[in-house]
């Protein structure tokens, strides 16, 4: 497999930059006029970012008295970006991802350059950006996306950390172990799935070093020492977050819904669709790359091969676990789509290797053929011309379709629809301006997420899929239903008894409940805000302080 770059790596990097710009420009055309995020996960992340702006970082934005439970790196970056630019979080989450997520393809290109050279990296980048399944959203397969889901942004530290691991294995040292540890710690702060995969790569590296040599071997001791440094530094970097999960909550999951959700595309009865996606042009070239990589015996590639092998085995095991969990009850791990995501990333890496392997074999065959053909270079020139035409036509077709992919078009529509629900938007803005971060607002769970959790304000109950996995949501949902039912039936005393343990200060009800509420005790439940739109609207009531004691 060729490892030396002709033409210049700088020229290939310039072409890679053009590809990234083409992807960015297409996405920016679809997102630059948006003002609200497109999907519920971002409203969860907005709430976490709001805690940084409010000076309460470390708390659960949704539940009073609880701690943070979701990886905080992306919300922290967004809080800093929002404060530095004077941009509201809602606008930042709608548009900043177009720019910030460019670190993913850039880091992806860097890892393939480091492992296999610039030519393979350019092919891999093209596969990563333009040859994926356009019908899937970007949270399900690794690519560039304008949406700032943490899984999209977290690709960057993952790719860079895997690269650092390979460098560490090639020549282990304290400094390289330190670099791996910092990268792994940052990955932990960014997202759980890539952090687990990095851990698998490091574990395999340590096991391989231990199995190949005795502890008396200087190389074995150096490798294990570097791995130990990496582990300790990673735990130190991620300790502000891990301490909460491990020490405060003891790692005990009481709400498994966020960890067990199954993407429809990965349901068992759709396995044939998954197989068909893997047998795409990118998948077939990746298979060529895998077979070519396994057949090459080159000392410089051994560590890269082991890193990719452990990466691949981990994602396959994770996917298999997810499929098994659909058949029987298993302890919660992570949703299986995370592993599908990084399977697609590995496919893109191997695609570039496969292109170079295939090109090398074709070149070798043409060299043998042209010795029997005159003029000498007629076969090569004809083959190169046909390949160039095929690549140009295929690339143009994919680039034209790139702006039509589901990831952009469907979520743009969702963003505009959320903006159109003025009642939710107005409630969010009202909560930011007229409530404190510790205020608890009773509302429907979905409204609590989109309007109040997003503002960093507390709720009684949230949808299980977006609430703290270390807090049992059943008592909260039961209490919220009881409170709303008590108000509906005019049982104010029962409402107060149920609401007091949750420190409820505000109640949000549909406009249709206004006549009933006005007929009850307006001096104890005073209407302080109304939000109306074409779909209805809501009233917000504040409990008299005497009711909250």
Residues 143 and 249 in one domain: yes
Residues 512 and 367 in one domain: no
Residues 504 and 368 in one domain: no
Which among 402, 434, 455 is the end of a domain?
402
Q: Report the C-alpha gap between 151 and 458 in whole angstroms.
A: 25
In a domain, residue 241? The reply is: yes
Instruction: Tell me what pLDDT residue 390 has.
Output: 58
Residues 486 and 433 in one domain: yes
Q: What is the CATH number of the domain that holds 534?
A: 3.40.50
Residues 485 and 526 in one domain: yes
Instruction: Tell me what pLDDT residue 545 has.
Output: 79
In a domain, residue 90? The reply is: no
φ, ψ for residue 439 (rounded to 5)?
A: -70, 140
Q: Which domain holds residue 531?
A: 418-548
Residues of the chain with pLDDT under 70: 1-7, 213-216, 298-300, 363-364, 366-397, 419-423, 523, 533-535, 547-549
Residues 227 and 338 in one domain: yes
Residues 394 and 433 in one domain: no
Which among 344, 370, 402 is the end of a domain?
402
In a domain, residue 386? The reply is: yes
How many domains in the chain?
A: 2
In a domain, residue 10? The reply is: no
Q: Are 330 and 253 in contact (CB under 8 A)?
A: no
Instruction: Tell me what pLDDT residue 5 has.
Output: 44
Token duo for residue 476: 């909260």
In a domain, residue 266? The reply is: yes
Q: How many CB atoms lie within 10 A of CB 329?
A: 7
Residues 488 and 371 in one domain: no
Residues 396 and 447 in one domain: no
Instruction: Tell me what pLDDT residue 292 has.
Output: 87
In a domain, residue 186? The reply is: yes
Residues 394 and 434 in one domain: no
In a domain, residue 121? The reply is: yes
Instruction: Tell me what pLDDT residue 384 has.
Output: 52
φ, ψ for residue 144 (rounded to 5)?
A: -80, 140
Residues 468 and 367 in one domain: no
Q: How many CB atoms lie within 10 A of CB 22?
A: 14
In a domain, residue 89? The reply is: no
Q: What is the 3-state secondary structure (H, E, C) of 341-399?
A: HHHHHHHHHHHHHHHHHHHHHHHHHHHHHHCCCCCCCHHHHHHHHHHHHHHHHHHHHHH
Which among 402, 436, 465 is the end of a domain?
402
List CB contacts of 65: < 8 A, sequence separation 6 or more: none
Residues 345 and 427 in one domain: no
């Amino acid at each position: 497999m060729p490892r030396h770059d002709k033409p210049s790596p700088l020229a290939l990097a310039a072409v890679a930059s053009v590809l990234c710009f083409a992807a960015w420009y297409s996405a920016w055309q679809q997102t630059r006029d948006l003002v609200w995020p497109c999907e519920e996960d971002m409203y969860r992340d907005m709430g976490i970012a709001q805690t940084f702006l409010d000076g309460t970082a470390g708390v659960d934005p949704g539940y009073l008295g609880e701690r943070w439970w979701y990886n905080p790196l992306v919300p922290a970056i967004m809080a800093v970006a929002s404060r530095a630019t004077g941009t509201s979080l809602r606008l930042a989450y709608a548009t900043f991802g177009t720019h910030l997520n460019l670190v993913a393809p850039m880091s992806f290109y860097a890892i393939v350059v480091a492992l296999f050279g610039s030519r393979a990296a350019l092919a891999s980048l093209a596969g990563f950006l333009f040859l994926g399944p356009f019908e899937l959203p970007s949270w399900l397969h690794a690519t560039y996306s304008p949406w700032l889901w943490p899984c999209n942004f977290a690709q960057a530290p993952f790719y860079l950390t895997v690269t650092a691991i390979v460098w560490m294995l090639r020549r282990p040292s304290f400094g390289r172990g330190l670099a791996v540890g910092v990268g792994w710690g940052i990955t932990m702060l960014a997202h759980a799935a890539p952090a687990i995969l990095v851990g698998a790569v490091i574990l395999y590296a340590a096991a391989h070093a231990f199995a190949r040599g005795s502890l008396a071997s200087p190389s074995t001791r150096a490798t294990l020492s570097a791995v130990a440094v990496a582990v300790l530094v990673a735990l130190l970097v991620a300790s502000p977050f891990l301490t909460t999960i491990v020490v405060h909550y003891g790692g005990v999951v009481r709400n498994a819904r966020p960890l067990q959700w199954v993407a429809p595309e990965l349901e068992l009865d759709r396995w044939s669709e998954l197989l068909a996606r893997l047998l795409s042009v990118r998948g077939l070239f990746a298979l060529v790359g895998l077979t070519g990589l396994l057949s090459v015996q080159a000392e410089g590639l051994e560590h890269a091969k082991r890193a990719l092998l452990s990466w691949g085995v981990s994602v396959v095991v994770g996917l298999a676990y997810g499929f098994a969990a659909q058949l029987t009850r298993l302890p919660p791990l992570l949703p299986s789509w995370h592993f599908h995501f990084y399977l697609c990333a590995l496919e893109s890496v191997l695609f570039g290797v496969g292109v170079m392997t295939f090109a090398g074999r074709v070149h070798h065959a043409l060299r043998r053929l042209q010795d029997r053909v005159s003029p000498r270079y007629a076969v090569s020139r004809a083959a190169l011309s046909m390949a160039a035409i095929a690549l140009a036509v295929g690339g143009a077709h994919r680039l034209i379709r790139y702006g039509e992919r589901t990831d952009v078009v469907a979520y743009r529509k969702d963003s505009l629809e959320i903006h159109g629900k003025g009642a939710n938007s107005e409630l969010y803005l009202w909560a930011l301006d007229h409530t404190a971060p510790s205020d608890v607002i009773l509302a429907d769970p979905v409204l609590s997420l989109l309007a109040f959790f997003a503002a960093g304000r507390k709720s009684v109950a949230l949808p299980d899929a977006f609430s703290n996995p270390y807090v049992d949501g059943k008592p909260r949902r039961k209490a919220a239903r009881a409170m709303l039912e008590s108000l509906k039936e005019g049982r104010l005393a029962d409402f107060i008894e149920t609401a007091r343990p949750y420190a409820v200060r505000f109640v949000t009800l549909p406009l249709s409940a206004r006549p009933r509420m006005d007929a009850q005790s307006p001096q104890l439940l005073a209407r302080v805000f109304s939000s109306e739109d074409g779909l209805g609207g809501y009233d917000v009531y504040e409990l008299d302080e005497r009711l909250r004691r």
